[in-house]
Amino acid sequence: MAIAQLIPPNNWQLLNNTELAKFISEEFDTSRNILAAAKPSFPSNAFAVLEYRPVGYVDVAGKANIDSNAVAAQIKEDLQILSNEMQLSAQEALRWQGFVLQPQFRMQEKTLDYGIAVYFGQDLAINFYRSVLVKNGVVTLTIVCSDKDAVQLDSSWKIQIASEMNYQNYRPGVDMKAEGNLDNVALMNEIM
């Protein structure tokens, strides 16, 4: 295992290498470091991606909590900017609905979980995020679904980090240090 491995719930299937390459080329910028993707075995347009971002070591010693109000305000602003850039009408605009899972950071696992609901026009999309801090960045699972899919971010979603990438293996002066904090980790996640 190079960086991390995704272990989805039993009712989801990991894409094989050929399917993954096709999925990335059709849905994403190929410069992104997507490690794995999964789709449900039940009828749905939902999907999950595991992505590595080498943003540097995020020091949580000084701040291990999330300012969810600041995160929500920034997401609302970003959605407005994106709607304007895409020249969407008021009926088509991207609109913040709220958190479906309040941000929670588990210090021992160095893991941030949260979920958001966003309207794309009249359609409600749910994005769940599980970000695991590693020695030189973040490995993030993003689950994209609709409110009708009954998908949850729970313990059945597992991310296995390669031992050499563990947060505790940070080497000061060798590994890059991130400029941000946990709020920044939450805000780097894309809304899909």
- Model pLDDT for residues 21-37, shown as the tens digit of each residue: 998 888 887 778 999 99
Rounded-to-integer distance, Cα 42 and Cα 145, Å: 12
CB of 119 closer than 8 Å to CB of 169: no
Q: What is the mean pLDDT of residues 115-123?
A: 91
The predicted pLDDT at position 182 comes to 82
The residues near 135 (Cβ < 8 Å, ≥ 6 apart) are: 57, 164, 165, 166, 167, 168, 169, 170, 171, 175
Question: Domain locations in the chain?
Answer: 4-187
R_g of the chain, CA atoms, integer Å: 17
The residues near 19 (Cβ < 8 Å, ≥ 6 apart) are: 37
pTM given for the model: 0.93
CATH architecture of 4-187: 3-Layer(aba) Sandwich (3.40)
- Model pLDDT for residues 149-179, shown as the tens digit of each residue: 989 999 999 999 999 999 999 999 899 999 8
